[in-house]
Amino acid sequence: MPELPEVEVSRLGITPHVLNQTVTKVNIHNASMRWPVPDDVYQLQGLKVTSVERRAKYLLLGCELGSVILHLGMSGNLRVVSADEPLKKHDHIEFILASGKALRLNDARRFGACLWQAPGECHTLLTKLGPEPLTDEFAAKRVYEQSRNKKVPIKQFIMDNAVVVGVGNIYANESLFKAGIHPKREAGKVSLKRYQQLVPIIKETLAAAITQGGTTLKDFAQSDGKPGYFAQQLLVYGRKGEPCVTCKEPLKEIRLGQRSTVYCSNCQK
């Protein structure tokens, strides 16, 4: 599933092609996504895209009448291609631009979304989201106070979108390893001092991934039109049984919230 850095890189990738462009036509080839695509999306037709923003893993294409909300689901991607390029299988939504290009949402599993948000309103999917991880609002003291009396494992706690958005499975694994915190430790038993270590690490880990992903932007509008998952040097995620980069002990794997969780039993307490 695309995580926040991948979605942010997608935003950076489409922005130069979409921002301030007039959408000459909206084509909904398959409205059966995770939620039915509403006819309201057609309101973007004939209007200029005035903003391209991200909230958590949602991308918002703004215009004077509202915003189209896009979500990539588990397998989706956005491509910027020539408008006369033949559709690929699973190209469900496309926005034809005055420039002669098209923004297409491709989603084989159809767990993605294309929705509408009216001006001055906040879609129900966005109302209960916590702070963005790279903002000052995501602060150690705030997270520490939220965690009091919480028995949920710290990994699941920092993946809760009500606590902070966008800390997906990969980056939760990596951040907890760097902070030396065992993923099963109860969130309410993590001290303020350790949250003061963990929160900056989460920020640094996500920021580094976004920066690394930015190196793929030059390929965004070429044949496949997407940055996808960029090369990353992962310390624990996907490395079950391999030696810890710090102590050389074999990394262990457990399931938390039905998600793969890899950690070092020696380095993480």
Residue 269 known to be catalytic: no
At which residue do the structure tokens 């993946």 appear?
159
pLDDT given at position 230: 52
Per residue in 256-267, pLDDT (tens digit) is 988 999 999 999
pLDDT given at position 74: 86
Residues of the chain with pLDDT under 70: 1, 214-232
- CATH ID of 140-263, from 1.10.1740.10, 2.40.50.140, 1.10.8.50, 1.20.1260.10: 1.10.8.50
Residue 64 known to be catalytic: no
Residue 259 known to be catalytic: yes
Instruction: Please work out, in degrees rounded to the nearest 5, the angle formed at the alpha carbon of residue 230 by the alpha carbons of 227 and 235.
Output: 160
pLDDT given at position 223: 41
Residue 3 known to be catalytic: yes
Phi, psi angle pair for 239, to nearest 5°: -115, 30
Strands (E), 32-97: 51-55, 58-63, 66-71, 77-82, 91-97
CATH 1.10.10.10 fits 4-117, yes or no: no
Per residue in 82-123, pLDDT (tens digit) is 999 999 999 999 999 999 999 999 999 999 999 999 999 999
Query: What six digits make up the tokens of 242?
Result: 């391999």
- Point out the annotated binding site for DNA: 90, 109, 150
C-beta separation of 157 from 185 below 8 A = no
- Point out the annotated binding site: 90, 109, 150
Indicate which residue of 54, 57, 155, 178 is catalytic.
Answer: 57
Beta bridge partners of 87: none
Q: What is the pTM of this model?
A: 0.89
Indicate which residue of 3, 8, 94, 174 is catalytic.
Answer: 3
Indicate which residue of 2, 5, 153, 183 is catalytic.
Answer: 2
Domain boundary assignment for the chain: 4-117, 140-263
Query: How far lies 57's CA from each of 19, 40, 176, 212, in Å?
Result: 19, 21, 21, 18
